């Protein structure tokens, strides 16, 4: 589904924006701090109901608007054409919650004019966004990688998204029970119900993550070979919790080492295991870990503890990769995600690349531009027109952003 039009009101430094978008490539140029990333952030927010940057939601509302009596930001995206056309609308409203915690941001979502839940936005306009800080996907904490997987898979599969919501709710409630059992004692039999719920919803997540990462491994290796002229072999691997090879017990140092060894040998976890089988194994692992979980007052096993790892030629990129290697791996992963979405949904997502060229050497730039040729719709930002060839710019819509205002321009080379 293409994004054909974007309207923004009071979103970050865009007080008012009306932008029509072409099918193919848009290149957005601007100096630092003019609104390049903000524009991509707005599109990501409309597509996923989540901000890509770990910002507080009230930061999204324009500062001047925050001083008005009813501060709000409004984002509207139009997608598709003819009978497939849809209008996606998200309003962020700063509202007093009546309590002492100060104002909260309320999200209101409409699809074709009808009120919906935020989760109903997801999957209508699929996007893949690459930001400079996405190097942290490889180098950062496991939570970043789980967030990445969740955003990608929610866009692909509504069942995943529903299971994720249920799973998170179950973990919160099970944790509360574990804390209660730790602090006040009581009947441990109460855990059985929550074990069942956790295994039920968690197995959807584990199974889906397992197959997606197996596919991403294949696709990213290809992209990565292109980016590195075939000189390095990338593996993307799933480090699930609980480990399928060890039924009982949380991940110890030795287990993590074993998982990484399996990864180095490119044996995907849960590869040939059905979802029912995953559920059974997960349930067995949960039943065997009650004592430790009560002592900890927290759920120690499950996809909320998952991780994924990136290796190049058998070496783990997190501790050993150079910054450039980590960045290239993250970029290969995102390009693989574009292809995964196309394979899974039959449609190419909108690719959003923020300031990616400046960090790449000449070979990687060429490979990236080759990859762009296979994408239906893309928006790419840059500070410098010189990052792109005149031929490519000749085929693109070229825009310039200055302090939250967009202008159609001829690139200055």
Ligand X SMILES: Nc1ncnc2c1ncn2[C@@H]1O[C@H](COP(=O)(O)OP(=O)(O)OP(=O)(O)O)[C@@H](O)[C@H]1O
Binding site for ligand X (CB under 6 A): 12-13, 30, 32-38, 59, 61-63, 355, 383
- 34 counts as binding Mg ion under rule CB under 5 A: no
For the bound state, the minimum distance from the C-beta of residue 159 to ligand X, rounded and expressed in Å, comes to: 34
Q: How far is CA 354 from CA 75, 203, 259, 383, in A?
A: 20, 34, 33, 10
- Using CA atoms, how far apart are residues 204 and 376, in angstroms rounded to an integer? 30
Q: Judged by CB under 5 A, which of 37, 48, 155, 241 binds Mg ion?
A: 37
For the bound state, the minimum distance from the C-beta of residue 32 to ligand X, rounded and expressed in Å, comes to: 3
Stretch that binds Mg ion, among 33-41, 229-237, 385-393, 399-407 (CB under 5 A): 33-41
Q: Which does 33 bind (CB under 5 to 8 A by kind): ligand X, Mg ion, none?
A: ligand X
Q: Are 358 and 385 in contact (CB under 8 A)?
A: no
For the bound state, the minimum distance from the C-beta of residue 4 to Mg ion, rounded and expressed in Å, comes to: 24
Q: Which does 7 bind (CB under 5 to 8 A by kind): ligand X, Mg ion, none?
A: none
Nearer to ligand X, 36 or 304 (CB): 36
Phi, psi of 190 (to 5 degrees): -60, -20
For the bound state, the minimum distance from the C-beta of residue 303 to ligand X, rounded and expressed in Å, comes to: 32
Nearer to ligand X, 12 or 327 (CB): 12
User: Which three-class secondary structure state does DSSP give residue 287?
Assistant: helix
Q: Are 29 and 385 in contact (CB under 8 A)?
A: yes
Ranges assigned E (strand) in 163-202: none
- Using CA atoms, how far apart are residues 381 and 398, in angstroms rounded to an integer? 10
Nearer to Mg ion, 38 or 79 (CB): 38
Q: Which does 240 bind (CB under 5 to 8 A by kind): Mg ion, ligand X, none?
A: none
Bridge partner list, 3: 79
Nearer to ligand X, 38 or 328 (CB): 38
- Using CA atoms, how far apart are residues 305 and 299, in angstroms rounded to an integer? 9
Stretch that binds Mg ion, among 34-42, 61-69, 193-201, 239-247 (CB under 5 A): 34-42
The position carrying tokens 């996907």 is 137
| H or E stretch at 4 | strand 3-11
- Using CA atoms, how far apart are residues 122 and 144, in angstroms rounded to an integer? 19
Q: Which does 63 bind (CB under 5 to 8 A by kind): Mg ion, ligand X, none?
A: ligand X
Q: Strands 307-312, 234-239: parallel, antiparallel or unpaired by DSSP?
A: antiparallel
Nearer to ligand X, 116 or 385 (CB): 385
Nearer to ligand X, 51 or 168 (CB): 51
For the bound state, the minimum distance from the C-beta of residue 96 to ligand X, rounded and expressed in Å, comes to: 19
Chain position whose Cβ is nearest to Mg ion: 37
User: Chain-centre distance of CA 234, in angstroms?
Assistant: 20
Pair of tokens at residue 392: 């490519």
Nearer to ligand X, 341 or 399 (CB): 399
Q: Which does 30 bind (CB under 5 to 8 A by kind): ligand X, Mg ion, none?
A: ligand X
For the bound state, the minimum distance from the C-beta of residue 399 to ligand X, rounded and expressed in Å, comes to: 12
Phi, psi of 372 (to 5 degrees): -60, -35
Q: Which does 26 bind (CB under 5 to 8 A by kind): Mg ion, ligand X, none?
A: none
Stretch that binds Mg ion, among 28-36, 64-72, 122-130, 393-401 (CB under 5 A): 28-36
Burial (CB count within 10 angstroms: exposed 0-12, middle 13-18, buried 19+), residue 339: buried
Q: Are 123 and 158 in contact (CB under 8 A)?
A: yes
- Using CA atoms, how far apart are residues 109 and 102, in angstroms rounded to an integer? 23
Q: How far is CA 279 from CA 104, 171, 198, 248, in A?
A: 38, 16, 9, 14
Nearer to ligand X, 62 or 228 (CB): 62
Nearer to Mg ion, 36 or 235 (CB): 36
For the bound state, the minimum distance from the C-beta of residue 53 to ligand X, rounded and expressed in Å, comes to: 9
User: Which three-class secondary structure state does DSSP give residue 1?
Assistant: coil
Q: Are 350 and 25 in contact (CB under 8 A)?
A: no
For the bound state, the minimum distance from the C-beta of residue 29 to Mg ion, rounded and expressed in Å, comes to: 12
Q: Which does 387 bind (CB under 5 to 8 A by kind): ligand X, Mg ion, none?
A: none
Binding site for Mg ion (CB under 5 A): 36-37
């Amino acid at each position: 589904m293409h994004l054909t039009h974007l309207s923004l009101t009071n979103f970050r430094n865009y007080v008012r924006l009306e932008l029509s978008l072409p099918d193919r490539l848009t290149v957005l140029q601007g100096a630092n701090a003019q609104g390049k990333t903000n524009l991509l952030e707005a599109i990501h927010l409309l597509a996923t109901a989540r901000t890509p940057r770990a910002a507080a939601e009230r930061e999204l509302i324009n500062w001047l608007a925050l001083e008005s009596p009813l501060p709000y930001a409004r984002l509207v995206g139009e997608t598709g054409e003819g009978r497939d056309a849809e209008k996606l609308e998200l309003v962020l409203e700063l509202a007093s919650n009546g309590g002492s915690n100060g104002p909260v941001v309320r999200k209101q979502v409409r699809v074709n004019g009808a009120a919906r839940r935020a989760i109903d936005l997801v999957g209508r306009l699929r996007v893949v966004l690459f930001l400079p800080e996405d190097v942290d996907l490889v180098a950062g904490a496991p939570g970043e990688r789980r967030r990445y997987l969740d955003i990608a898979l929610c866009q692909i599969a509504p069942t995943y998204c529903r299971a994720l919501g249920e799973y998170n709710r179950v973990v919160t409630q099970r944790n509360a029970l574990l804390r209660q059992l730790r602090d006040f004692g009581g009947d441990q039999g109460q855990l059985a119900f929550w074990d069942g719920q956790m295994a039920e919803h968690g197995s959807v997540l584990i199974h889906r993550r397992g197959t997606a990462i197996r596919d991403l491994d294949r696709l990213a290796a290809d992209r990565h070979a292109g980016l590195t002229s075939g000189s390095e072999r990338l593996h993307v691997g799933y480090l699930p919790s609980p480990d399928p090879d060890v039924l009982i017990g949380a991940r110890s140092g030795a287990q993590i080492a074993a998982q990484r060894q399996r990864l180095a040998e490119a044996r995907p976890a849960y590869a040939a295991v059905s979802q029912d089988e995953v559920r059974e194994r997960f349930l067995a692992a949960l039943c065997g870990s009650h004592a430790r979980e009560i002592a900890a007052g927290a759920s120690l096993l499950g996809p909320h503890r998952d991780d994924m790892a990136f290796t190049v030629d058998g070496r783990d990129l997190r501790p050993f990769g150079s910054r450039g290697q980590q960045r290239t791996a993250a970029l290969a992963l995102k390009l693989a995600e574009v292809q995964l979405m196309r394979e899974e949904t039959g449609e190419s997502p909108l690719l959003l690349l923020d300031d990616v060229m400046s960090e790449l050497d000449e070979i990687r730039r060429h490979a990236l531009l080759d990859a762009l040729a296979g994408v239906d719709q893309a928006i790419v930002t840059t500070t410098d027109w010189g990052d792109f060839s005149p031929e490519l710019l000749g085929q693109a819509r070229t825009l310039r952003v200055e302090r939250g205002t967009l202008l159609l321009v001829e690139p200055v080379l």
